[in-house]
Amino acid sequence: MLKSLFPIASAFQDIMLDALNEKERAVLDKIFDKLIEHRHSWPL
């Protein structure tokens, strides 16, 4: 079940990224940069 959902989620993500304007994309980039920067403190 999950396996069949991943392509859908991926396509949805692509559509969402296309819909974002440059400003929103820059904000998301900053968020992801922070997440990656602090990944060593994730409780995983």
Structural domain of 10:
2-41
SS3 readout for the chain: CHHHHHHHHHHHHHHHHHHCCHHHHHHHHHHHHHHHHCHHHCCC
Q: pTM to 2 decimals?
A: 0.41
pLDDT tens digits along 1-44: 455 566 777 777 777 777 777 778 788 888 888 888 877 776 76
Number of domains in the chain: 1
The C-alpha atoms of residue 12 and residue 16 are separated, in whole angstroms, by: 6
In the prediction, which pLDDT does 44 show?
Answer: 60
In the prediction, which pLDDT does 5 show?
Answer: 60
